[in-house]
Amino acid sequence: MKKNLILVVLLCISAASYGQILNPVKWSYASKKINDKEAVIFLKATIDHGWNIYAQKVPENGPVPTTFSFNLSESYQLNGNTNAPHPVVKHDPTFDMEIGYYSETVVFQQKVKLLENSTAVKGTLSYMACDDTQCLPPEEVAFNIPIK
């Protein structure tokens, strides 16, 4: 019985060491009130060295762009589109096209019109991360950003 238990433990350890999950992008969030009627939310991607995520607009048949979807709310309204710094644009041999992308860090910003004093902006973002040898499947991440 002891031998079987040891064998099971060793197999689990072995399987865990081969099944590493890549997670090269970490997201963090913040908000800042501009005044009583407006705020800005910040969605920051911290990207591991050698990896990138794509801009909000990419050519047809290209990679999955970074997109944001905001839940409807009676406590706020979106004010314009989600903004980002200009991406680096270069030829991507994997997709054989010019594509905009971000490496290391990027902060996306969304202005909101406040209809209540405090609220939380909720929604989802989706993105695809690639390095020089592989692209990971697109991911969708839910967010909940309080505004006080």
Domain range holding 63?
A: 23-147
- pTM over 0.75, yes/no: yes
Domain tally, the chain: 1
Closest CA to 103 of 91, 113, 89: 89
Residue 3 lies in a domain: no
- Residue 4: inside a domain: no
Q: What is the pLDDT of residues 72-126, one digit of tens each?
A: 999 999 999 999 999 999 998 888 999 999 999 999 999 999 999 889 999 999 9
Report the distance separating Cα 148 and Cα 139, nearest Å: 29
In a domain, 125, yes or no: yes
Question: Is 7 inside any structural domain?
Answer: no
Cα gap 39→14, rounded to integer Å: 49
- Asked if the structure places residue 8 within a domain, the reply is no
Residue 41 lies in a domain: yes
pLDDT in tens, 19-74: 567 899 999 999 999 999 999 999 999 999 999 999 999 999 999 999 999 999 99
Task: State both tokens at 145.
Answer: 């950003």
What CATH number should be reported for the domain holding residue 89?
A: 2.60.40.1250
Q: Is residue 121 part of a domain?
A: yes
